[in-house]
Amino acid sequence: MVSTSRTTSSTEDPIPSSSTISQTHSFLKYIGITSNLPESYLKHDVYSDLIRGLLQVNHIERGQVTCTFTVKPQFCNIYGSLHGGAIAAIAELVMEACVKSVVEKDLFLGEFATSYISAAGVNAELEVGGVIVRQGRNVTVTSVEFRIKETKKLVYTARATFYNVPVANL
């Protein structure tokens, strides 16, 4: 018989101390999570608008897209490096562009993974290269690499699987 009960070590306290709660609240306040968003950020798809404004397309060919951008302070986390959400949004946009260069159907993103290998700080210029890894009839797998333009150092990678939207039979 397999036991399904969870054991906790005697050093783990399931109830956080008031000091821990206070520290967590201070951290969340420090990063601005308790602030209200400005009205201009409440419109539909504002994040995509911001990301599109960063990228400069350098090269497009069948199954490949290359862009560059400079890391702006507005897209950095509290540690001064490019925010993971911005990395994911840029990666998705570039990989979807790769797929659109060969697939004319509507798509949806089914799987997405990102690796944060290093960090890119404010004013770093990055090259983002996306390629199709494998393409089937209804599924396309893509990958993207973020590299520091000057040194070619790899800082982030991502991989995504896009599925063709099925045509409804009515």
Q: Which of the four pLDDT bands, split at 50, 70 and 90, describes residue 41?
A: low
Query: For 109-126, what is each residue's pLDDT tens digit?
Result: 999 999 999 999 999 999
Three-state SS at 94: helix
Query: For 85-102, what is each residue's pLDDT tens digit?
Result: 999 999 999 999 999 999
Q: Superfamily for 46-164? A: Hotdog Thioesterase (3.10.129.10)
Q: What is the spatial distance between Cα 39 and Cα 26, in angstroms, rounded to a whole number?
A: 25
Lowest mean pLDDT among 50-54, 61-65, 82-86, 132-136: 50-54
Domain boundaries, the chain: 46-164
Q: Which of the four pLDDT bands, split at 50, 70 and 90, describes residue 48?
A: low
160 sits in which H/E element: strand 154-164
- Contacts of residue 71, defined as CB under 8 A and 6 or more positions apart, other chains included, come to 81, 82, 120, 121, 122, 123, 124, 125, 126
